[in-house]
Structure 1
Amino acid sequence: MSAYARPYLLVLLTVLLSSPALGQTAAQPAPSVIGSRAEIMTWSDPLEALGTLRADESVTLSATVTDIVAEINFEDGDQVEQGQVLIHLDDAEEQAQLRSAQAISDERRNTLGRTTQLQERNLAARADLEDFQAQLRQAQANTQVIEARLTNYQIKAPFSGRVGLRTISTGTLVTPGMELVTLDKLDVMKLDFSVPERFLSRLSIGLPLSATTAAYPDDIFSGDIASIGTRIDPISRSVNVRAVLENPDMRLRPGMLMEVVVQQRVRDAIVLPEAALEPSGDQHHVMVIDQSGPTPRLERHSVVIGERRYGQVEILEGVEAGDLVVVHGLQLARDGLEVRLLGTLDDETSIRALLEADR
């Protein structure tokens, strides 16, 4: 470099070094974050299974005699009461036999009465009186047999419930064992499912559960465990469990497949959104927002987690109820960094809404 150009270079360096753009670093804005409060919630360890619904009581009514259907006293899907006559078979012949047996009973009763009066005046033998008494008892027994036989011609509801679709009509000839109509008690449903034997120690009578079905995907049906099987299946190594679900609106039907979640070890737990976790190997951390100073500042806490479910995680150690933690903006979050809090999530506020409000 020539001696002539050197003074000009020194002047240029002096001007550049005195420029604010190079002489100091521009202040960086505080990163924006969204927080969520650690809440105490009722928590449990879910045990999932598939179950099948059964009616509280269920029967397929059939005939025990061969005869023709005379009356049908229900319509498809009717709610019927216990003892209601649903189907009446033609019993004209049996009714005639009953009248004949009753007439014989009346005749022998009258004969016994006359003989009793004669025997009181010593005008009839004691043996004749005893014979007439035996004949009356025989006639009464024959009457009772016919009356009992007549009950087979009336198909009654053994309990209150809802009938299914009928497949017979008046005049149909029915035979013993022929299926006539189904009857189900649907106000309470039994839910049967199997649980692996390793979970047997966690089950108990009265344990709450929830169940869902594809027929009503937006509804959750609640119930309790009513009974636990006494045997372990040696092939599947599982135990049968039965729960009871209330069904006041009759929406649940026998045979439905349901997804069951048994709530084990019900307890109060500190819960955070899973989005707040920062995994690092087998460790987990969260960024707690300290609002004690003039500007919110981050503190990195190591936490011990428990069970997870539906985007939430149980916190065993490291966070207290009410602590505010970062759930959005963790990419720029650093321990001790000052941040700008855009808002706090709750049941009525979403991350999208808070971001749009900040634009």
Structure 2
Amino acid sequence: MKKFNYLIALSLSVLVSACSGDNAEMAESGDELVKSVNVVTQDVKPRTFTSYVRVIGTVETSNDIMISAEVNGRVMSYAVSEGEQVRKGQTIVKIDDAKLRQEKARLEALASQAKENYERLKRIYEEDGIGSEIEYLNAKYNYEQMNSSLESIKVDLANTSIKAPFKGKLESRMVEVGEMVAAGTPVIRLIGSEDYIISAGVPARYADVVQTGDDVSVWFDTQDSDTLNTPIAYTGSSINPQNRTFRIEVDLPQKANQYKVDMIANLRLNTLRRDSVLAISEEYIYSKRNGYVVYVLSQNEKGDPVASEIVVELGPSYKTDVIIEKGLMPDDKLITIGSAFLDDGMRVTVKESASTEIASN
């Protein structure tokens, strides 16, 4: 009999020890043992809830173009080296124009001949009444065609000099001296020296919350400079069907040499701001058959501290914070540490915590 009593006592000791290991205690109430879980609480306070989305953008400039040849020919020379600044209207590339000059001389002769023939037939037809009207008109049209061909050659000759359409920097040369190019062949890339922007695509689901004028935080992984805070300068009105995003643009400070075209930028956009809401960490929210629940500190009929299971309605979330739309009330004592071991009505023992309020952002 003594051995049997000893085994019972040993079993009870092990059971109490196991509960303590799971952050629980056994409290004696009369002749019965009542399970009590050690918990920590925090006062639920209204606060401002904000959510953000991070997108990746690239640095661009409105003056970043590939300039192509407009005539066929061999590249004769470059007047500017890569990386050099150019003035608007400055010649950058010269294409061989020898054949075009010969063609111009030929057309000038033909045009002169056609003009003399036209004027002669016109004079004798109008003054002397000699010849037919059709001959006179044919001579007129032939002269006009020759003159038009001559003007076209003059345009081609002018296009053998590729000039800068704006002030900028010669970024790269696509062909080398001596290479043949055809009309439409890219020859140089020219980048404007000012007015840099960041272009990014924002997911379509944020189309109703991201607007022109909203503040954006911008930073670069390749730079140690502080984060820029600047407004959205442009918001696109269409959705890209390929990736389901819409375009936004952010202006960068002018004449800032640290920015380079095609640099990768990080942008943080505010997608939601709500004041005076109740928001808690998602780790204290539990899914049950009747929805989502949290545990708050309450009392039973005897006045003992117990956990009360509250069904809550969830709202928007950001990172680990979730807005509680319904269920919680201001100044409710939310059970945080130890809540994972609770059921509705379970006895609890409240322990001290370094903070008794939910930190606000």
Normalised to the residue count of structure 2, the TM-score between the two structures is 0.54
CA shift digits 1:277-301 (9 cap, x unpaired):
xxxx89xxxxxxxxxxxxxxxxxxx
SS of residue matched to 1:165: strand
CA shift digits 1:116-165 (9 cap, x unpaired):
33334315324343232122112112213323433542323344432213
Q: C-alpha displacement at 1:233, in angstroms?
A: 5.5
Choose which of 63, 66, 75 in structure 2 pairs with 1:60.
66
For 1:103, the equivalent position in structure 2 comes to 109
For 1:262, the equivalent position in structure 2 comes to 269
Choose which of 76, 81, 84 in structure 2 pairs with 1:78.
84
For 1:124, the equivalent position in structure 2 comes to 130
Distance between the aligned counterparts of 1:76 and 1:187, measured in 2?
18
Asked if residue 220 in structure 1 is aligned to residue 227 in structure 2, the reply is yes
For 1:150, the equivalent position in structure 2 comes to 157
CA contact (8 A) 2:197 2:252 kept: no
SS of residue matched to 1:201: coil
Distance between the aligned counterparts of 1:205 and 1:214, measured in 2?
25
Distance between the aligned counterparts of 1:152 and 1:159, measured in 2?
16
Q: C-alpha displacement at 1:212, in angstroms?
A: 1.2
CA contact (8 A) 1:187 1:247 kept: no
SS of residue matched to 1:230: coil
Distance between the aligned counterparts of 1:46 and 1:81, measured in 2?
43
Q: C-alpha displacement at 1:203, in angstroms?
A: 0.9
Distance between the aligned counterparts of 2:123 and 2:183, measured in 1?
49
For 1:207, the equivalent position in structure 2 comes to 214
Distance between the aligned counterparts of 1:175 and 1:333, measured in 2?
75
For 2:168, the equivalent position in structure 1 comes to 161
For 1:251, the equivalent position in structure 2 comes to 258
Q: C-alpha displacement at 1:87, in angstroms?
A: 1.1
SS of residue matched to 1:248: coil
Q: C-alpha displacement at 1:264, in angstroms?
A: 5.3
Distance between the aligned counterparts of 1:266 and 1:124, measured in 2?
91
Residue type of the alignment partner of 1:104: L
SS of residue matched to 2:236: strand
Q: C-alpha displacement at 1:110, in angstroms?
A: 2.8
Distance between the aligned counterparts of 2:61 and 2:223, measured in 1?
18
Runs of at least 5 residues in structure 2 that lack an aligned partner in the other structure: 1-48, 277-283, 285-293, 295-316, 320-329, 332-352, 357-361
CA change 1:244–1:103 in 2 (3 A) is farther
Alignment RMSD (CA, Å): 4.2
CA change 1:107–1:219 in 2 (3 A) is farther
SS of residue matched to 1:59: strand
